[in-house]
C-alpha cells in the first residue's frame, strides 16, 4: 500500500519520506511534541502544590500577554510551550492542586490521562459501530464493568443476557450530566406526548417535571432546553426534616394535584448527592410514586455515584432497579479526566426512538442487522470521542479494590 | 504548604513522600505511563498505513478477547497497553490512516494532540471565568484568532472594541455542531415565543424552522430536541438547478405562506458544505429573506468552514455579517483533534438569556462585575474541558500560512 504516485496524501500527512511540505502528523514531530508535553506535565505536577490555587489575575490578563492576532508563520513547538508556562499557568485555577477544595473534586489518574492521550491520537469518530467497532465495544464494555462495580441491575447492562438474547438495557458515555438529563427528558417527553395522543407537540403545555429544590440548576435548564413549560417545571421544597432529600409524600401530593388539574406527570429527577447540601433523594420511594403516574425516573448520581462502588455506600442506590435511567460522572470522583458522564437506561429503544437519525451516508450492514449499538442515537450530537478507553484504562489498571480504597480514604478524610 | 499533618490529601494524591497507599497521580507514574503511551502512538502512526482501514471483526469481538468483569486487583500499566495493542487496535476503523477516505476528514496534528494532553492533565472545569481564568481567556482568544483567519465581522468577536467598550459578540467551543444548533435554536425559540406574547410555551406549535433538504440530519434532530413541532420543521427541496443549494425564492415563498397561515418563522439553518453533496446555501440571500420575518439565521460550516481561511474560498461566507450565528468544526479540517466545534454569535445576550443559570455555589465577584465571560451560559452543560488550548496551539505553532497550505493541498488533491 501507498506509494508516492498512488497515494500522495499519505506522504503529505505522515511525512514518511523526504517530501517537502507541511507534515502536521509527522511521527517524529508527534513523538517530540508529546514527550515535551509529558515533561511539562511532570514539572507541573511536581510544582502545583506550591502554586496559589486561585490565580491573582484580572479579567483580560491573557490578552495583554499574548499576541492578539494569529501568526502567519510557523514557530517551533517550544514557543507555544514557553507561552503556556509564562502566560497560561499563572492564570490557572489549579484544580489539580492538592490544596483545591472548591466545588466538587475533579479527580484524575495517570491511567486516565494516558487513555485520553491515545484516544486523541487515534482521533476516531465512533458515531456508528462500523465507524469504529473497537471504540463502540470498549465503551459498552467499560460501562458494563462500571455497572457491575455499582451493582446496577442486569437490566441496565449491554451484555448479552445468555440464552434469552440481548436485553434492552444499555449505556453511553456523554460529556455532561446535563446532556444525560436532556436526552432522557426528551425521550420521556415524546413518550408522554404519544400517551396523551397529542397533535404534534401541542400537548407539551400539559407535561410536568419534578425535582427537589436541592437539585442542580442544570436540571431546570435541561427542562427548558427540551421545551417544557417553565410553569410546569416543579421544584419541590425540602427541609431539615428529610435532610434536604425529596419527601415522597409531598411529591405524591403535588403530582396527584397536577393530574387532578389535567396535567401529565412526565419525569422526575432524583439526586444522589446534591451539589449544595449533599442530600440524597430516596430512590425507591420516588420510583414507587412515579410508577403510579407512569412518569420517567432519572437518578442523577453525578458526584456521589462513584461512592456506590463500595458496598457500605451502595444502599443510596436501593430501588434503582425500578427507575428508568441513571447517570454518574467518573470525571468527578472516579479518577477519569473530563469529560466522562455515564448514562444507563433500562430500555435503549425509548432513547433511540427519540434520538435516532438514519441518513443515507451512515447506512451500513452492521447497523441494519440490529446486532450492534450505534451510540450516536443515544446522545445529542453525531461526532463522539473514544471516551471508553480512558474509563476502561482506569478500571483495568487500578482494579476495584484500589478504587474502593480511594473512595474510602476520601470519605475518612471528610470525617476528620 | 502541605505537611502530612496539615494536608494528608496532598500525599495521598501525589505521593511526594513515602506514604503507603494508592497514588493515582504520582508524578513518576504519570510520566512513565505517558511516555509509554507516546511511544505507542509513534509506533501506531508508523504502522497505521499498513493496516486495513476497516477491521475484519464481527459484532461482539472485543468481549471475546477481554475479561467480562472488572478486575479486583491492580495490574501494571503494561498489561492495559498490551490489551490495547492486541484487542483494541485490530478492531479499529483507522481514521488516522492516510488511506481513510470515508465520511469527512478528521484531521489532526502534533500540536493539537499536545494541547489536548496538557488540558487532560490539568483537568480543570472552566464553567465560569473564576473557575479557570486562563482556560476562559484562552478559549476567547483562540476563537478571536480563528475569527480573524475566517475574516468574520468584528461583531462576532469577543475582543474589546476599543473606546466603545466590549461588544455583544462572542464565541464558545462546543463538542459538536449539533450542540451549536441546539443552543441557537433554543435561543431563537424563546425569542419568538416572547415576540408573539406566548403564554409559556403554548405558542411553540406556531413556530417554524427551515433548512434545505441537503442539510445534515442532525439539524432536524436538534429541532426535535428543542421541542419544535415535527410538522413545522420544513425541509426545503433542492435540485441541480441550484447545485443543491437552498433557493432563496423558494424559501421566501414557503415562509410567506407560513406567515399567511398564522405561523411564525423562527430559524433558518444555511449550510456551507453539506455532507452528502457539498452544496453551499447562499448565505447573503438567505439572510435577506430571513430579515423580512425576523428569523434567526445560523450558518453550519462544520466541514467547509475551514477552507474559508483561504481568501480564494472566503466568498462562500459572503453575507455572514447579516446572520445571527455561525459554527464550524476545526476537528474536521483544521487539524484539531476531537472535539472542537466553534460557535460565534453576534449577540451573546440572546444565548445567555436562554442558557444562563445562576446557582448560589457559582456566584463570584468576577461574574457579577459583568466584565467576564462565563462560558457555561453558552452551552448545554456546566462542566467543560480546556478545549481552547489545543485550538490555540495549532494556530500558534503552524501559523496561518501553513494552515492555508494544508487546505489548498487537500483541494488540489480533490481536483486530481
What pLDDT, on a 0 to 100 scale, did the predictor assign at position B159?
A: 62
Do residues B230 and B333 share a domain? Answer: yes
Per CB-CB distance under 8 Å, the chain A contacts of B88 are 134, 138, 389
**Record: contact A123-B135, CB cut-off 8 A:** no
If one compares A10 and B414, the residue with the highest pLDDT of the two is B414
Contact B34 A38 (CB under 8 A): yes
Same domain for B282 and B237: yes
Cell of B343: 460557535
Chain B's closest residue to A87, CA to CA, is B134
Residue A79: HSE in the Cβ half-sphere, 13 Å Cα cutoff:
15
B89, B133: one domain: no
Is residue A90 domain-shared with residue A227, that is, in the same domain? Answer: no
| Options B33, B45, B244, B361, the catalytic residue | B361
The nearest CA of chain B is from the CA of A27 a distance in Å of: 6
Q: How far apart are the C-alpha atoms of A409 and A405, rounded to whole Å? A: 6
Give the Cα separation of B77 and A155 in Å (integer). Answer: 32
Question: How many residues are there in chain B?
Answer: 416
Q: Using CB atoms, which residue from B205, B216, B218 is nearest to A200? A: B205
Q: Please name the helix (run of DSSP H) or strand (run of DSSP E) that holds residue A210, with its range, or none.
A: strand A207-212
- On whether residue A343 sits in a domain, the answer given is yes
Residue A39 forms part of a structural domain: yes
pLDDT at A166: 55
Whether residues B82 and B135 fall in one domain: no
Q: Does the residue B322 lie in any domain?
A: yes
Does A383 touch chain B if contact means CB atoms closer than 8 Å?
Answer: yes
CB-based contact, A162 to chain B, within 8 Å: no
B-chain CB neighbours of A51 within 8 Å are none
Residues A55 and A167 in one domain: no
Q: What is the pLDDT of residues B86-124, one digit of tens each?
A: 999 999 999 999 999 888 778 999 999 999 999 999 999
Give the domain extent around A43. Answer: 33-95
Place of cell 413541532: B229
Q: Quick one: A281 and A229 in the same domain?
A: yes
- Which residue of B lies nearest to A341 if distances are taken between CA atoms? B383
Q: Is the pLDDT of residue A3 over 80?
A: no
Give per-residue pLDDT as tens, A185-227.
999 999 999 999 999 999 999 999 999 999 999 999 999 999 9
Q: Is residue A18 included in any domain, yes or no?
A: no
Is the complex ipTM more than 0.90?
yes
Residue A293 has pLDDT above 70, yes or no: yes
Cross-chain Cβ contact B27/A9 below 8 Å = no
pLDDT of amino acid A159:
63
Percentage of residues of chain A with pLDDT beyond 70: 93
What's the gap in Å between the CA of B281 and the closest CA on chain A?
Answer: 19
DSSP state of A323: S
Q: Would A239 be classed as within a structural domain? A: yes
Peptide bond into B339 cis (omega under 30): yes
Burial class of B39 by CB neighbour count within 10 A (0 to 12, 13 to 18, 19+): middle
pLDDT in tens, chain B (416 residues): 233 233 334 334 443 333 458 999 999 999 999 999 999 999 999 999 999 999 999 999 999 999 999 999 999 999 999 999 999 999 999 999 999 988 877 899 999 999 999 999 999 999 999 999 999 999 999 999 999 999 999 999 986 543 344 578 999 999 999 999 999 999 999 999 999 999 999 999 999 999 999 999 999 999 999 999 999 999 999 999 999 999 999 999 999 999 999 999 999 999 999 988 899 999 999 999 999 999 999 999 999 999 999 999 999 999 999 999 999 999 999 999 999 999 999 999 999 999 999 888 888 888 888 888 899 999 999 999 999 999 999 999 999 999 999 999 999 988 87
Burial class (CB in 10 A: 0-12, 13-18, 19+), A262: exposed
List Cβ neighbours of B214 (8 Å cut-off, separation of 6 or more).
Answer: B238, B244, B245, B271, B274, B275, B276, B277, B279
Q: Return the exposure string of B121-141: e unless at least 16 CB atoms fall within 10 Å of the residue's CB, then b.
A: bbbbbbbbbbbbbbbbbbbbb
Domain co-membership, B210 together with B75: no
Distance CA A324, CA A240 (A): 28
Q: Which of B390, B50, B379, B411 is nearest to B182 (CA)?
A: B379
- DSSP 8-state symbol, B379: S
Is B17 part of any domain?
no
Residue A398, in any domain of the structure: yes
Among B95, B130, B165, where does a domain finish?
B95
pLDDT at A76 over 50: yes
Beta bridge partners of B233: B209
The per-residue pLDDT of chain A, averaged, comes to 92
Note whether B184 and B81 are same-domain residues: no
How many interface pairs between A and B have CB atoms less than 8 angstroms apart?
555
Q: B185 in contact with A at a CB cutoff of 8 Å?
A: no
Domain containing residue A141: CATH number: 3.40.640.10
The answer to whether B297 and B209 are in contact (CB under 8 A) is: no
Residue of B nearest to A135 (CA): B92
**Do B70 and B207 belong to one domain?**
no
* Shared domain check, A55 and A186: no
Q: What's the gap in Å between the CA of B256 and the closest CA on chain A? A: 22
DSSP states of B163-230 as a string? GG-B-S-EEEEES-HHHHHHHHHHHHHHHHHHHTT-STTGGGGGEEEEEETTS-HHHHHHHHHTT--G
Whole-number pLDDT of residue A307: 97
Q: Quote the number of domains for chain A.
A: 2
User: Among residues A95, A110, A144, which one ends one of the domains?
Assistant: A95
Q: Which of A48, A76, A95 is the last residue of a domain?
A: A95
Task: Inspect the interface and report whether the beta carbons of B98 and A9 lie closer than 8 Å.
Answer: yes
Exposure on the CB side of residue A285, measured as CA atoms within 13 A: 14
Q: Which residues of B touch A145 (CB under 8 A)?
A: 69-70
Alpha-carbon span B96 to B88, nearest angstrom? 15
pLDDT at B11: 37
Three-class SS of residue A334? coil
Cβ count within 10 A of residue B99 = 17
Query: Could you tell me which of B320, B324, B296, B299 has the C-alpha nearest to residue B228?
Result: B296
In whole angstroms, what is the distance from residue A168 CA to residue A170 CA? 7
- CA–CA min distance A256, chain B (Å): 22
CB contact under 8 A, A134 and B216: no
Contacts (Cβ under 8 Å, ≥6 apart) of B370: none
Kindly state whether residues A225 and A293 are assigned to the same domain.
yes
pLDDT, tens only, A142-185: 999 999 999 999 999 986 543 344 578 999 999 999 999 999 99
pLDDT digits (tens, 9 = 90+) for A216-257: 999 999 999 999 999 999 999 999 999 999 999 999 999 999
Assigned domain for B103 exists: no
- Calculate how close chain A gets to B53, using CA atoms only, in Å: 10
Amino acid at each position: 500500500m501507498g506509494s508516492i504516485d498512488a497515494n500522495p496524501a499519505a506522504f503529505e500527512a505522515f511525512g514518511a519520506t523526504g517530501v517537502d511540505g507541511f507534515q502536521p502528523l509527522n511521527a517524529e514531530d508527534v513523538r517530540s511534541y508529546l514527550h515535551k508535553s509529558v515533561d511539562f506535565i511532570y514539572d507541573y505536577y511536581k510544582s502545583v502544590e506550591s502554586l496559589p490555587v486561585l490565580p491573582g489575575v484580572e479579567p483580560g490578563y491573557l490578552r495583554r500577554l499574548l499576541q492578539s492576532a494569529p501568526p502567519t508563520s510557523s514557530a517551533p513547538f517550544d514557543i507555544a510551550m514557553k507561552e503556556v508556562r509564562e502566560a497560561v499557568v499563572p492564570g490557572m485555577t489549579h484544580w489539580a492542586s492538592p490544596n483545591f477544595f472548591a466545588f466538587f473534586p475533579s479527580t484524575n489518574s495517570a491511567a486516565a490521562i494516558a487513555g485520553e492521550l491515545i484516544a486523541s491520537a487515534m482521533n476516531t469518530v465512533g458515531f456508528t459501530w462500523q465507524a469504529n467497532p473497537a471504540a463502540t465495544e470498549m465503551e459498552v464494555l467499560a460501562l458494563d464493568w462500571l455497572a457491575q462495580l455499582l451493582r446496577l441491575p442486569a437490566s441496565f447492562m449491554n451484555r448479552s443476557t445468555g440464552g434469552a438474547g440481548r436485553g434492552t438495557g444499555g449505556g453511553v458515555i456523554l460529556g455532561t450530566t446535563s446532556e444525560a438529563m436532556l436526552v432522557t427528558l426528551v425521550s420521556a417527553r415524546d413518550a408522554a406526548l404519544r400517551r396523551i395522543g397529542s397533535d404534534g407537540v401541542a400537548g407539551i403545555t400539559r407535561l410536568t417535571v419534578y425535582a427537589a429544590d436541592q437539585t442542580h440548576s442544570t436540571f431546570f435548564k435541561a427542562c427548558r432546553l427540551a421545551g417544557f413549560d417553565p410553569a410546569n417545571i416543579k421544584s419541590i421544597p425540602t427541609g431539615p426534616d428529610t435532610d434536604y432529600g425529596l419527601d415522597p409524600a409531598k411529591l405524591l401530593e403535588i403530582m396527584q394535584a397536577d393530574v387532578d388539574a389535567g396535567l401529565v406527570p412526565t419525569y422526575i429527577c432524583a439526586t444522589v448527592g446534591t451539589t449544595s447540601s449533599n442530600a440524597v433523594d430516596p430512590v425507591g420511594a420516588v420510583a414507587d410514586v412515579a410508577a403510579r403516574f407512569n412518569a420517567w425516573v432519572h437518578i442523577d448520581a453525578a458526584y456521589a455515584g462513584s461512592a456506590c462502588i463500595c458496598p457500605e455506600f451502595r444502599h443510596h442506590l436501593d430501588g434503582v432497579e425500578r427507575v428508568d435511567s441513571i447517570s454518574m460522572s467518573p470525571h468527578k470522583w472516579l479518577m477519569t479526566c473530563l469529560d466522562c458522564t455515564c448514562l444507563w437506561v433500562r430500555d435503549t429503544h425509548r432513547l433511540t426512538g427519540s434520538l435516532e437519525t438514519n441518513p443515507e451516508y451512515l447506512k451500513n450492514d452492521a447497523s441494519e442487522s440490529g446486532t450492534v449499538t450505534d451510540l450516536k442515537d443515544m446522545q445529542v450530537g453525531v461526532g463522539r470521542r473514544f471516551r471508553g478507553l480512558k474509563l476502561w484504562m482506569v478500571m483495568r489498571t487500578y482494579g476495584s479494590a484500589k478504587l474502593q480504597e480511594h473512595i474510602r480514604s476520601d470519605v475518612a478524610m471528610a470525617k476528620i
